[in-house]
């Protein structure tokens, strides 16, 4: 565990970064098998190797970096699934996890989410997403604010996707980051993100998302915002069940292995669960889906930092 003091006029703000991996060995074996399976499919002509080529190109764009805005985890649905939804299409929060997985049948959607990270009011996070379609092309707009005290991180995001083939899509988004510290002013910058989504075979999907390809800096210092990669699979053995696997990597840290699932118990009720290996976090959630209004809830459990509650309300017009 590392503790980082941030200066404040009448004291300090303390930010804690926790970096522990207890279950990495078991989950790593599962992910190694999946990576071998992906490599095998990549070699198959039927899998459309030309569509998988951009994944390798995006991975090669990384350089070591670290700064504020480490990663954005938003929405009760993805959080309850361990933030492993990079290869799952149709999520209202796809703009944050993989814009190439935006739904092609999007009506006008507006989602509001709120969470109090581990019960600390100064680490409250509020998110708003607007999804809509213009001439058959999906677009998404998003805003997020972390912190309501002397330290605040604000993000604005806009993104869309383009279908290369019926089974392969590429997506992109532009992020604007604003960091504000009371009595120290504020700084802003922007980042470019690219993504790919591919239907390997019916029921099996691949997704990849790379952030901050332009290596943005939040100030004139040499410190850059983190560049990250998220690569994963989603598998639907039956219509009611979705299983997700993801490998998340911030170049400055070790990779984070994530597993999540969603099971539709009733036509209007879904149960979700997920594990985040690097932070040793267990996630659970429920979703109530109606024709016009959806409500999602997520519970995050960390053995040292405690629990976080996430609430999302979405209206579809």
Q: How confident is the model at residue 222 (pLDDT cuts 50, 70, 90)?
A: low
9 in a structural domain: no
Instruction: Confirm whether pTM is higher than 0.85.
Output: no
Rounded Cα gap, residues 294 and 101, in angstroms: 20
pLDDT attached to residue 117 = 84
The tally of CA atoms less than 13 A away on the side-chain side of residue 234 is: 30
Confidence of residue 68 (pLDDT cuts 50, 70, 90): low
The reply to whether 13 falls in a domain is no
Neighbours of 149 (CB within 10 A): 13
- CATH code of the domain containing 145: 2.40.160.40
Q: Is residue 235 a part of any domain in this protein?
A: yes
Q: Is residue 221 part of a domain?
A: yes
Between 31 and 209, the more confident residue is 209
Residue 162 banded pLDDT, cuts 50, 70, 90: very high
42 pLDDT above the threshold of 80: no
Top pLDDT among 294 and 68 is at 294
Residue 11 maps to a domain: no
Residue 140: give the domain boundaries. 22-316
Domains held by the chain: number: 1
Residue 142 has pLDDT above 50, yes or no: yes
Burial (0-12, 13-18, 19+ Cβ within 10 Å), 12: exposed
Does the residue 251 lie in any domain? yes
User: Per the domain annotation, does 259 fall within a domain?
Assistant: yes
Q: Please write the tens of the pLDDT for every residue from 144-158.
A: 999 887 889 999 999
Q: Would you say 112 and 130 are in contact if contact means Cβ atoms under 8 Å apart?
A: no
Identify which of 137, 222, 217 has the alpha carbon closest to the alpha carbon of residue 171: 137
Answer yes or no: is pLDDT of 109 > 90: yes
């Amino acid at each position: 565990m590392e503790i980082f003091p941030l200066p404040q006029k009448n004291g300090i703000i303390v930010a804690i970064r926790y970096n522990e991996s207890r279950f990495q060995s078991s989950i790593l074996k599962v992910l190694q098998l999946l990576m071998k399976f992906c490599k095998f499919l990549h070699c198959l002509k039927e899998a459309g190797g030309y569509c998988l080529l951009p994944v390798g190109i995006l991975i090669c764009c990384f350089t070591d970096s670290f700064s504020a805005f480490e990663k954005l985890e938003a929405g009760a649905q993805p959080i309850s699934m361990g933030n492993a939804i990079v290869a799952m299409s149709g999520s209202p929060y796809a703009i944050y996890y993989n814009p190439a997985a935006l739904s092609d049948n999007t009506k006008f959607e507006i989602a509001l989410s709120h969470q109090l990270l581990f019960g600390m009011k100064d680490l409250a996070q509020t998110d708003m997403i607007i999804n809509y379609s213009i001439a058959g092309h999906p677009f998404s707009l998003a805003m997020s604010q972390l912190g309501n005290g002397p330290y605040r991180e604000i993000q604005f995001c806009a993104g869309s996707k383009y279908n290369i083939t019926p089974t392969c899509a590429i997506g992109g988004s532009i992020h604007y980051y604003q960091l504000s510290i009371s009595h120290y002013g504020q700084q802003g910058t922007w980042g470019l993100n690219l993504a790919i989504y591919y239907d390997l075979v019916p029921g099996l999907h691949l997704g990849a998302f790379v952030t901050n390809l332009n290596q943005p800096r939040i100030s004139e210092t040499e410190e850059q915002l983190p560049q990250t990669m998220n690569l994963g699979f989603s598998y639907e053995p039956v219509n009611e069940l979705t299983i997700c696997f993801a490998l998340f990597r911030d170049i400055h840290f070790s990779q984070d292995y994530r597993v999540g699932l969603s099971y539709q118990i009733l036509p209007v009720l879904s149960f979700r669960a997920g594990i985040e290996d690097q932070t040793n976090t267990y996630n659970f959630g429920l979703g109530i889906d109606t024709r016009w209004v959806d409500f999602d809830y997520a519970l995050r459990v960390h053995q040292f930092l405690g629990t976080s509650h996430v609430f999302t309300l979405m209206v579809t017009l």
